[in-house]
A and B are shown apart, each in its own frame.
Chain A
Amino acid sequence: MRFVSKKQTIQGVDAETGVALLPVEPEDMWHANNLIAIEDIVKAHAVRKVVQESSTGSTHTERVHTDLTIAVTSTFFDPAASALHVSGRVIRENDFVNVGQYHTLDLELNRPFTLWKLHGWDSVALQTLSEAVSDDKPDALVAVVMQEGLANICLITEFQTVIKQKVESSVPKKRSSAKDTAGGMAAFYEKTMTNMLRAVDFNNPRPLLLASPGFVAQDFRTYMQTEGAKRADKKLQRIARDAVVVHSSTGHVHSLNEILKSPEVQATMRDKRFTNETGLMDQFYERLRKDDGRAWYGVKPVEKAVAEGAVGRGGGVLLINNSFFRSLDIPTRKKYVALVDKVKEEGGEAKVLSSDHESGQRLDALGGIAAILTYPIFDLDEEDEEDGGEGEEKMLGSEGETTVI
C-alpha cells in the first residue's frame, strides 16, 4: 500500500482531511480490510448501473464510472481472491446517485481510495496503517502440509496464511498389493505437484516448506526431483532442490504451528512476524501449563489484569486478535484500544495478532484475547464464579461476537 500523496506521512494523518491510499498488491486488500471499520467513510471509484427514464416513460440502463463516498455498514473480505467489498450508504450526492442509497464498493488494485475515520485514528489503527505502508516486505513462504492422501498447499505471507488448495486422494491400503499402494502414492504426489505449481507462482525463487509425519514429505521431494529430471524441467528441479523438509505430526493446517517452530524454519525465517507470533503463543501455552497464575485468557480476566497494572514492564504481554478491531461497534473497539494503550503505557508489550495466521487461530480458540502477566494473580476467574450467571452470559456474548467475525 502507498500513500497517494508523497507528502503524506503517518504522523500527518488526521481525521479531518482523510488519507488517500493506493493498494498495489493483493495483500494490500487484507490491510484495507483491517483499516476500514464500520462507520468509517470511504471514497472510491465505483461502477454503478443507472436506469434513466426519458420523458416518454421508456427506460435505458447504463453502467457509469463514478466516484462514490459511503459510510461503511459492512465489509466482506475474500482471502482466496484477495478481494474486498465495502458496503454502505452514499453520503455525498452526485449526478447518478442520491444520498442514502446503498452501494457496495469493490476496491481494486491500482485505484486509489480515501478513508476518513469520524472517531479519529486510534493507536491500533495507526499501527495497522504503518504496517500497511511499510516497504519492507519479505517474500511469501509456500508450505505444503501433507500426510498420506492429504495435502494442504498454503501461502504464508507476513500477515496471513492463505490455503490455496487442499488435495485429497485415496491411497489404496495394505489389502491391495504393494504395487497398488506405490501407484496410489505416485498419483497423489503428481496431483499435489500439479496443484502446487498451478496455485503458486514459482517464477521467482521463493522458500518452499514440505512438512509431514513419517516420510511423505521426503518422498514428495524425491518425486519432484525425479520428475524434474525426467521432464528436463529446470524450474521443477530448482524448486525440489531448494525445498526444506520438516516434520509435522499431521497433515492438517494447524500443524503449521509446529512447522514454524522447527529449527529449519527458525534458521531461515528468524525475524518474520509470524514466527514471533508463534513463539509468543507457545510461551503463553507454556505458562498456562505451569499454572503459575501468570497466564490468563478470555475478555474478563484479561481486562481485570490490565486494570490492576499486571501487564506491564518486565515481561507483560497482551495478545489480542486483530479481528477484535475489525467490524466491531465503536464503543467496544474503543474499549480494546484503551486496553492496548494502557499496556503500552505501563511498559508492557501489546501484540495485535493476525487472525488469519495459525497463531491467531490458536488465540481465537482462547477467545481472541490473552495476557502474560508480570506477577502472578490467582483469583482472576474465581470472582467470575461469584458473579454467577451474569458473568457467564457476558462471556458468551463476547464469544458470540468473535465467531460472527
Chain B
Amino acid sequence: MSRHQAVRNLDYQNELDDYEGYSEEEDELSPEDRALMEQGKAAVREALANQASKVTTTQIEEALWHYYYDVDKTVAYLISKFIDPPKKTPKAVLESNAGKKQVDTAGKKGKKKTDSSADGVANGVGALKIEDAPLPKSKNLDVLSEFHNSKSKKTASFVVVGHVDAGKSTMMGRLLLDLGVVEQRTVDKLRQEADKIGKKSFALAWVLDQRTEERSRGVTIDIATNRFETDTTLFTILDAPGHQDFIPNMIAGASQADFAILVIDASTGAFESGLKGQTREHSLLIRSMGVSRIIVAVNKLDTVGWSVERFNEIKNQVSGFLSATGFQAKNISFVPLSGLHGDNLVRRSSDSAASWYTGATLVEELENSEPSARALAKPLRMTIAEVFRTQQSPLSIAGRLDAGSLQMGDAILVQPSGEKAYIKSLQVDEAPADWAVAGQNAALHLSNIDPIHVRVGDIICDPAKPINCLDTFTLKALAFDFLMPMQVDVHRGRLHVAGRIEVITGLLDKVTGAVTKKKPKIVKPASVARIVVKLESKVPLEAGQRVVLRSGGQTVAAGLLE
C-alpha cells in the first residue's frame, strides 16, 4: 500500500518540477521583446491618459503580448475590457466624462444627473448606474500653497477638562449662548425640559450633552464638539467628560486639541477633592498628550462671594502643581469666573465683588493663545474620531488631521484594515471645502469602501506613505505609578487596545536619557523608563506618537513611541 503512495508522490514531484521549468521559460522575454514592451506600455498609458490608473501594469502587458505590441488594438481592448463596463461603448464613456467635467468645474453636485442624462438617453442610463460611477475627480491642487494663499481666519481647537461636576459643560453652554452661537430660545426650551426631570440647573450643559443617558444622569459621557468664531479665530470646543470612567473619551478629545481649559470648582471642599481626583489626572494627561498651553478657569467663584483669597489660594496650589507636571509658567493663566452666570467668560463681571479682577476674560485669553505648529509637509495622518452616515455618502468620517494635507478626489488608505478609499467630497468645520490641512477638523465623505473596514480609532493615511501596523513597540515612558510587567490599556486618541508590558529594558536618566539601570524589576512613579509593550492586535502606530498607558482605571504612564 505504501508503494502506491510513493509512486504517486514521485509523479507529483516530477510534474511540479516540469511545471516550474516551463513557467520560467515562458516568463523570460528576449531583450528586444522587453524593449518593445516598454515602448508599448508607455504608448498605451499615453493613449489612455487619465484613465490609465484604472488598468494595472500586468493587464497592459498581457494585452500588448496578445496583440503583438500593437498599441491601437491594445488600447481598444483595454478600454472595452477594463475601463468601459461591457454595456457601454467607449464613446459613451468619453461623453459622460465630459459631462462630469463640466459639472465639476461648475462645482454643483445636484446638476450632475440632469447634465449627463441630457447627453442622451442611452448615456444617461449608463451614467446613473451606481457601480459604474467613475472615481471622484481630483482638482490636483497644490494644497499647501492654497492654504498659504487663503486669507481665512486661524483655526484652533481646545479641550475643556476638569474634575467631574466642575461645571465644564455648563460653562461651555453659557459661552455658546453669550456668543450667540446658541439662541436664548433653545436654552429656554432646554430649561423647560430639564425642569421636568428636576434638573433645571443642567439646562446650559444640555446644549452640549445631547445624549439621553447624559441628560438623565447629568454627566457628560462622550466628547462634544462645537464651534464658535471670534474676530480673529475660529475655535473648536472639545468638551471632555470629567468622570473617571470616561477618561478614554477625554483622551480622545485631548489628542485633538491645541490647548486646554482646566476648569476648577472653587466652592469649599470641591476644589480639594478635585485636586486629588481628575484635576490631577487630566492635567497629567493633557501634558503628556503634548498640550503645553493651559488656561485655568476658576469656576463657581460666585458661590464664595468672589473672594480674592480663595482665588489666590487656588492659584498658588494649582500653579505649583502644574509646573511640577511640566507646564511652563508663561503658558499658564488664571481666570476667575462663573460659568452658570457668564461672568468673565465673554463679558466682564458686573458684580462689584469681582471688580478686583482686571485681567482678560476667558475668550480674550483664548484669542491670545497661539495654536501649536502644524506638521503640514509630513505625510497625511488623520485619526478617525467618528464614523457616520450622511446624505452625501453612506460612509462619512470625521476627525482632526494630525499631519499632512488632503483634497477632494484623493485616494486614501485606512489602517489597520489596509483598504483603499476615495474622498468623494469633504467638509472643513461644517462648510464644504476642496482641501484640508493638518490641524483642521474635517469630515470626509468616502466612496469605494465597505463600512466594515472603517472603525473609530483607525488612521487615514497616504497610500504612498502608509503608516505601519504594529503589535509590539518600544516606548520611552514617564511613569505616574509603579510599572512592572503587567496588563495595560494602550490609548492613542480614539484608539483603545489591550496589551501588556512585556519587558522593562532599562531605567533612563530624566535629563540625559542615558540608561541608569538595566532590566529593573519595577519602575517607580515619576521615573523614566524604556519599556516594550505587546498588544493583543495590530494597530497603526509609528515613532514619535504619544500614547497613554492605563491600568485598573488609573493612568500609569505616558510616553513617546520609539
Q: Which residues of A contact B (CB under 8 A)?
A: 51-53, 59, 149, 170, 172-178, 180-182, 213-215, 219, 247, 249-250, 252-254, 257-258, 285, 288-289, 291, 296-297, 361-362, 365-367, 381, 384-385, 392
Report yes or no: A182 in contact with B211, Cβ–Cβ below 8 A: yes
Report yes or no: A366 in contact with B484, Cβ–Cβ below 8 A: yes
Assuming the A-B contacts A175-B398, A362-B486, A365-B487, are A253 and B498 also in contact, with contact meaning beta carbons closer than 8 angstroms in the complex?
yes
Report yes or no: A178 in contact with B1, Cβ–Cβ below 8 A: no
Q: Which of A170, A181, A289 contacts B387 (CB 8 A)?
A: A170
Q: How far is the CA of A365 from the CA of B482 in the complex (A)?
A: 15
Report yes or no: B245 in contact with A213, Cβ–Cβ below 8 A: yes
- List A contacts of B389 (CB < 8 A): 176
Q: How far is the CA of A213 from the CA of B521 in the complex (A)?
A: 31
Q: Does B553 contact A (CB under 8 A)?
A: yes
CB closest chain-B residue, reference A392? B519
Q: How far is the CA of A214 from the CA of B241 in the complex (A)?
A: 11
CB closest chain-B residue, reference A396? B503
Within the complex, the shortest CB–CB distance from B90 to chain A, in Å, comes to: 41
Assuming the A-B contacts A53-B4, A249-B245, A252-B498, are A174 and B210 also in contact, with contact meaning beta carbons closer than 8 angstroms in the complex?
yes
Q: Which residues of B contact A (CB under 8 A)?
A: 1, 3-5, 210-213, 217, 221-225, 243, 245-246, 248, 385-389, 398, 455-456, 482, 484-487, 489, 496, 498, 500-502, 518-519, 521-522, 524, 536, 550, 552-554
Q: Which of A51, A214, A367, A384 contacts B246 (CB 8 A)?
A: A214
Within the complex, the shortest CB–CB distance from A211 to chain B, in Å, comes to: 12
Q: How far is the CA of A392 from the CA of B211 in the complex (A)?
A: 54
Report yes or no: A175 in contact with B388, Cβ–Cβ below 8 A: yes
Listed A/B pairs (23) with beta-carbon separation below 8 Å: A52-B1, A59-B1, A170-B387, A172-B388, A173-B222, A178-B212, A182-B211, A182-B212, A250-B498, A250-B553, A254-B498, A254-B500, A288-B521, A291-B524, A297-B484, A297-B485, A297-B521, A362-B486, A365-B501, A366-B484, A381-B519, A381-B521, A392-B519
Within the complex, the shortest CB–CB distance from B416 to chain A, in Å, comes to: 14
- List B contacts of A253 (CB < 8 A): 498
Within the complex, the shortest CB–CB distance from A300 to chain B, in Å, comes to: 11
Report whether over half of chain A's contact residues are helix, strand or loop; otherwise say mixed: mixed
- List A contacts of B554 (CB < 8 A): 249
Assuming the A-B contacts A53-B4, A252-B489, A289-B522, are A170 and B456 also in contact, with contact meaning beta carbons closer than 8 angstroms in the complex?
yes
Q: How far is the CA of A371 from the CA of B398 in the complex (A)?
A: 50
- List B contacts of A170 (CB < 8 A): 387, 455-456
Q: Which of A213, A219, A288, A367 contacts B522 (CB 8 A)?
A: A288
CB closest chain-A residue, reference B520? A381
Assuming the A-B contacts A213-B245, A288-B521, A381-B521, are A176 and B211 also in contact, with contact meaning beta carbons closer than 8 angstroms in the complex?
no
Report yes or no: B223 in contact with A365, Cβ–Cβ below 8 A: no
Report yes or no: A219 in contact with B213, Cβ–Cβ below 8 A: yes
Report yes or no: A214 in contact with B243, Cβ–Cβ below 8 A: yes
Within the complex, the shortest CB–CB distance from A170 to chain B, in Å, comes to: 6
Report yes or no: B456 in contact with A173, Cβ–Cβ below 8 A: yes
Q: How far is the CA of A106 from the CA of B420 in the complex (A)?
A: 44
- Across the A-B interface, the 4 shortest Cβ-Cβ residue pairs: A249-B553, A213-B245, A252-B498, A254-B487
- List B contacts of A291 (CB < 8 A): 522, 524
Report yes or no: B487 in contact with A174, Cβ–Cβ below 8 A: no
Q: How far is the CA of A250 from the CA of B551 in the complex (A)?
A: 9
Report whether over half of chain B's contact residues are helix, strand or loop; otherwise say mixed: mixed
- List A contacts of B496 (CB < 8 A): 250
Assuming the A-B contacts A214-B243, A214-B246, A392-B519, are A174 and B223 also in contact, with contact meaning beta carbons closer than 8 angstroms in the complex?
yes
Report yes or no: A215 in contact with B388, Cβ–Cβ below 8 A: no
- List A contacts of B248 (CB < 8 A): 250
Interface centre among A59, A173, A285 (most CB of B within 10 A): A173
Q: How far is the CA of A92 from the CA of B189 in the complex (A)?
A: 86
Within the complex, the shortest CB–CB distance from A178 to chain B, in Å, comes to: 5
Q: Which of A175, A180, A214, A361 contacts B245 (CB 8 A)?
A: A214
Q: Which of B211, B387, B522 contacts A174 (CB 8 A)?
A: B211
Assuming the A-B contacts A173-B222, A249-B245, are A365 and B388 also in contact, with contact meaning beta carbons closer than 8 angstroms in the complex?
no
Q: Which of A173, A296, A392 contacts B385 (CB 8 A)?
A: A173
CB closest chain-A residue, reference B551? A249
- List B contacts of A173 (CB < 8 A): 222-223, 385-386, 388, 456
Q: Which of B222, B225, B500, B522 contacts A365 (CB 8 A)?
A: B500
- List A contacts of B388 (CB < 8 A): 172-173, 175-176, 180
Report yes or no: B486 in contact with A285, Cβ–Cβ below 8 A: yes
Report yes or no: B213 in contact with A59, Cβ–Cβ below 8 A: no
Q: How far is the CA of A178 from the CA of B1 in the complex (A)?
A: 71
Q: How far is the CA of A51 from the CA of B222 in the complex (A)?
A: 66
- Given A172-B386, A213-B245: 10 more A-B contacts, CB < 8 Å: A173-B385, A182-B212, A215-B221, A249-B550, A249-B553, A249-B554, A252-B489, A365-B500, A366-B484, A392-B519
Report yes or no: A296 in contact with B521, Cβ–Cβ below 8 A: yes
Q: How far is the CA of A366 from the CA of B504 in the complex (A)?
A: 11
Within the complex, the shortest CB–CB distance from A180 to chain B, in Å, comes to: 8
Within the complex, the shortest CB–CB distance from B72 to chain A, in Å, comes to: 50
- List B contacts of A174 (CB < 8 A): 210-211, 222-225, 386
Within the complex, the shortest CB–CB distance from B62 to chain A, in Å, comes to: 40
- List A contacts of B536 (CB < 8 A): 252
CB closest chain-A residue, reference B2? A51
- List B contacts of A59 (CB < 8 A): 1, 4
Report yes or no: A215 in contact with B217, Cβ–Cβ below 8 A: yes
Within the complex, the shortest CB–CB distance from B484 to chain A, in Å, comes to: 6
Assuming the A-B contacts A59-B4, A172-B388, A250-B498, are A178 and B455 also in contact, with contact meaning beta carbons closer than 8 angstroms in the complex?
no
Assuming the A-B contacts A170-B456, A176-B388, are A181 and B521 also in contact, with contact meaning beta carbons closer than 8 angstroms in the complex?
no
Q: How far is the CA of A385 from the CA of B500 in the complex (A)?
A: 25
- List B contacts of A175 (CB < 8 A): 225, 386, 388, 398
Q: How far is the CA of A362 from the CA of B224 in the complex (A)?
A: 36
Assuming the A-B contacts A173-B456, A365-B487, A385-B518, are A289 and B482 also in contact, with contact meaning beta carbons closer than 8 angstroms in the complex?
yes
- List B contacts of A180 (CB < 8 A): 388
Interface centre among A52, A175, A219, A253 (most CB of B within 10 A): A175
Q: Which of A214, A366, A384 contacts B485 (CB 8 A)?
A: A366
Within the complex, the shortest CB–CB distance from A62 to chain B, in Å, comes to: 11
- List A contacts of B486 (CB < 8 A): 285, 362, 365-366
- List B contacts of A213 (CB < 8 A): 245-246, 553
CB closest chain-B residue, reference A185? B213
Assuming the A-B contacts A170-B387, A249-B552, A362-B486, are A178 and B210 also in contact, with contact meaning beta carbons closer than 8 angstroms in the complex?
yes
